[in-house]
Amino acid sequence: MKVLVINCGSSSLKYDLFDTVTEQSQAKGLCERVGIDGGTEALIEHEVAGKDAFEKPACMPDHTVAIKYALEALTDTDHGVIDSLDEIAAVGHRVVHGGEAFAESVVIDDEVEQAVEDFCELAPLHNPPNLLGIRACRKALPGVPQVAVFDTAFHQTMPPQAYIYALPYELYEEHRVRRYGFHGTSHRYVSLRAGEYLQEQGIAVEDHKVVTCHLGNGGSMAAVLAGKSIDTTMGMTPLEGLVMGTRCGDLDPALPLYLMDLLGQDAKQIDALMNKQSGLLGVSGVSSDMRDNQNASVEGDERAQLAVDLFCYRVRKYLGAYAASLGGLNCIVFTAGIGENDPPLRAQVVEGLQFMGVKIDESLNDTLQLHDGVARISADDSPVHVLVVKTDEELMIARDTVELLTGS
């Protein structure tokens, strides 16, 4: 069975065609600059597994045209991997916000499409392009089942004490103001892989106490008890929690108001300051990219070093907090761009956590040996297992899609 996975951003469309028997991607691509300048500057990059990628300019005024280009690339006589669109059995869509309505993935019908639209208010940057992708695919592939996989769904198992803000309760009841959490598909995938690993170590599922650290350009952590999320660092929006590339994460909640007065700026400007000019970029003044900050700090840039220290300290602090939430800890998982690729940062995060039973093997950490996307980096005698797991949100979306359509 072939499943097409779609991830739509405001000016981009990512696609990935999976063979769900082998769970291998057959071809994937990215349509960029969709709708910018009327789509005249757009570009499609297409890559067939095991072959060189190609890119070509295209005119993509909207996502409906972008999906047309993607489908053409997939069926192209030279670069295609399928003979006809009939081979696409289903489409799985990444949808950022599912509110409280969706604790699991769901087959899309008009009602679900309407719900995704309703949640645009909660995720104004993300749900509108996700919705465009859904509409474009329903139009281009009529009759082909479409599935929505929500970033928020995995965290719907959080108990109220973890998701209610200590604000007037009516704000929750009347306006849906609560913590939702994001990156759920990634946290779910890596915690599943960690669960398999822990079972191999003879630890029963009900005893799995795992903290997953998704450290990419955006970052979040989740406390996962027996496979279920019981807390996560992002909140009503993706701004809460960790220090990120350009986001500040946790703050004194009085600060935005103070800054509005101090700087004479309005809410939109302060929102941009916290989301786009803060985090690694704001502290270091160097870059939002972790590699640039690591390189600058090696060369003696003190603010870049401070940015990296802040980043690591925040992760370490949450590790302690989540060990308390979980009533213990037997596994830490690092994933995403930084988590998978930055050994010194992983070592810095867990430094001083020996008292909690966390002991890293430096050589395993430095010379990461992934086996089927998973590597242990903790020492043999470390009571807490520390893993690096390559995340695969697209595969998770493809799996959910198959499961919903075939029941297996």
Question: What residue ranges bind ligand ADP (CB under 6 A)?
Answer: 216-218, 245, 289-291, 294, 336-338, 341-342
From the list 52, 62, 151, 261, the catalytic residue is: 151
Distances in Å between the Cα of 49 and the Cα atoms of 77, 80, 94, 107, 388 are 16, 11, 22, 28, 24
> Smallest distance from the beta carbon of 96 to ligand ADP, in angstroms?
13
* Cα–Cα distance, 54 to 70 (Å, whole number): 13
| Calpha distance 105→116 (Å, rounded) | 12
Instruction: Provide the minimum distance between the beta carbon of 376 and ligand ADP in the complex, in angstroms, as a whole number.
Output: 20
Rank residues 138 and 188 by Cβ distance to ligand ADP and give the closer one: 188
Tokens standing for 136?
A: 């474009």
Question: C-beta of 3: minimal distance to ligand ADP in Å?
Answer: 21
Residue 151: active-site member: yes
Dist. CA 95–CA 392, nearest whole Å: 15
Orientation of helix 302-326 relative to helix 343-350, angle to 10°: 60
Residues in the chain: 408
Nearer of residues 80 and 235 to ligand ADP, judged by Cβ: 235
Closest-approach residue to ligand ADP (CB): 337
Q: Kindly state the smallest distance separating residue 141's Cβ from ligand ADP, in Å.
A: 27
> With respect to ligand ADP, which residue has the nearer C-beta, 43 or 286?
286
Q: Is 289 helix (H, G, I), strand (E, B) or coil?
A: coil
Identify which of residues 181 and 337 has a Cβ nearer to ligand ADP in the complex: 337
User: CB of 119: closest distance to ligand ADP in angstroms?
Assistant: 21
Pick 51 or 291: Cβ nearer ligand ADP: 291
List the beta strands (DSSP E) in 134-243. Answer: 146-150, 209-215, 219-225, 228-232
Closest CA to 148 of 183, 113, 192: 113
Tokens of 397: 């979306």
List Cβ neighbours of 80 (8 Å cut-off, separation of 6 or more): 27, 73, 74
Minimum Å gap between C-beta 336 and ligand ADP is 4
Three-class DSSP category at 231: strand
Pairing of strands 88-95, 146-150: parallel
Using the minimum distance from each CB to ligand ADP, give the nearer residue, 47 or 342: 342
Q: Which sign, positive or negative, has the C-alpha torsion 250, 254, 259, 260?
A: positive
Catalytic residues: 151
